[in-house]
Chains A and B, each alone.
Chain A
Amino acid sequence: MKQATLTYKLMMAATGLFLCFFLVIHLLGNLQLLLPESEAREQFNWYSHLLSGNILIKIISYILYLSLIGHAVYALIITRKNIAANGSKYVYDKRSQVSAWNSRNMGILGTIILIFLIIHFKDYWYVYKFGHLPLDAKGNKDLYSIVITSFQQGWYIIIYELSFIALGFHLLHGFFSASRTLGLYHPKYSGAVRVFGWVYSLAITLGFMLIPIYIYFNLNAL
């Protein structure tokens, strides 16, 4: 039988949840930037090195790339199906009154995040993987300096923060939506997951957002 849209949705949920998991790992790494400067440099560079050397991590990183691409591609396919399902447009449309705006605009939020990711990959991932970076005292590539330098620019921080606001709203709907797609229907646990989703989204978003601001105001003197 032809693959049902619901299986596409399952892929969206699975890849999305994996990305959610990755965000935690990423945030844990980034939080090291909040350590006192000298410690932070070594710690952060060591962590970055760890994440690029290990075979297990390598496998996970490929899953990550696939997840990112899969999440975006499936979103595209589903969106096209939805447009086809909608038929002609309402002349006067107030349906927005009955649902949350972020739940209706996951595509737009996702696109903002995707654009951010491209910038993000170019600035850090590409530079780290393929660029020539100076080494720190321990002999690890000094990604720390790159990060700190980029967060000295106000406009960069603004793009960064806006993107994370988009991510925050994306997560807020996405996390619970994924749980529904995976089949969570019990009212009690469904409610609990929704609360957890809120806490998670808030923690991830604020965590990421805090770091550049901290760096901008505390390390500007460097």
Chain B
Amino acid sequence: MKLYLKVWRQEHKESKGNMVNYEVDGISAHMSFLEMLDLLNERLIGKGERVIEFDHDCREGICGACGMMINGRAHGPLTGTTTCQLHMRGFKDGETVYIEPFRATAFPVLRDLKIDRSAFDHIIQSGGYISASTGQAPESNSIPIAHEVTEAAFDAAACIGCGACVATCKNSSAALFTSAKISHLVLLPQGKLESADRVIKMVGQMDAEGFGHCSNTEACEVECPQEISVLHIGRMNYEYNKALLLKK
């Protein structure tokens, strides 16, 4: 199979980037999308050119490192799938494929398709944790937690922090990411104690990082590789409103 790629190339944070055309032949349907890029990079090295930089690590859809806009869609045309799990059998011979980095003011491009997502770390630092130091924990079965509550918390905790929600959002909002963490922690009895402080800080940090607001288009849920529900955003808003009302 042969593809015509248009890939975003950008030297560094401050420089202007542009789309560069590449023809890649000899692609097999079994390859993953990233292996197709490996193949192109291998050929670029042969020609003495700088390779296309992109983030990737586990290549099994769980680390959240990879992520690019493929044909205008976050992580490509499939839903519930990371870029690394996208395979070439979904593409047609002779197709033109556009590859761009996830774009948002809070996610500056480092080089080519590599972006800086440390804003997500900052949001977690602002309060996305339960303050339980090592050694303080009581016996694990001393607090029973209902099966469905644990499952609901898990659904939220499954976020891999890839940033597709931000990339696909017309407002570059991090509401799904932030709300998933808030939901995960507030659902559990251990996390309830700090909930008011947490939500105020995390929502504030989300703004400070330069993310936009949520206008509930729900595109994030569609593109999320872990299929995290937008209802968590409702819960975050609930917690936030409650915290505002009850704040002393």
Contact = CB atoms under 8 A, between A and B. Distances in A.
Nearest to A179: B234
B103 A89 contact: yes
A183 B237 contact: yes
A179 B235 CA distance: 11
Given A85-B104, A89-B103, A7 B244 contact: yes
Interface in A1-50: 1-2, 4-10
Contact of A85 (B19, B171, B232, B235): B171
Nearest to A185: B234
Interface of A: 1-2, 4-10, 78, 81-82, 84-95, 97-100, 103-104, 106, 173, 176-177, 179-187, 190
Interface string B214-244: 1111110011000000111111011111101
A95 B72 contact: yes
A15 B222 CA distance: 29
20 contacts: A1-B200, A2-B204, A5-B212, A8-B213, A9-B213, A82-B212, A82-B213, A85-B106, A85-B172, A85-B211, A86-B212, A87-B172, A89-B103, A90-B72, A90-B103, A91-B19, A95-B74, A95-B219, A99-B217, A186-B231
B207 A4 contact: yes
A99 B218 contact: yes
B154 interface: no
B98 interface: yes
B122 interface: no
B6 interface: yes
Interface in B72-90: 72-74, 79
Contacts, number: 143
Contacts of A187: 231
Nearest to B104: A87
Closest 9 CB pairs between A and B? A183-B238, A94-B72, A185-B234, A85-B212, A92-B98, A99-B217, A87-B105, A99-B219, A82-B171
B170 interface: yes
Interface of B: 6, 8, 19, 69, 71-74, 79, 98, 100, 103-108, 168, 170-173, 200, 203-204, 206-207, 210-219, 222-223, 230-235, 237-242, 244
Chain B binding surface, main DSSP class: mixed
Contacts of A176: 216
Given A90-B100, A99-B218, A82 B170 contact: yes
A146 B170 CA distance: 43
Contacts of B204: 1-2, 4
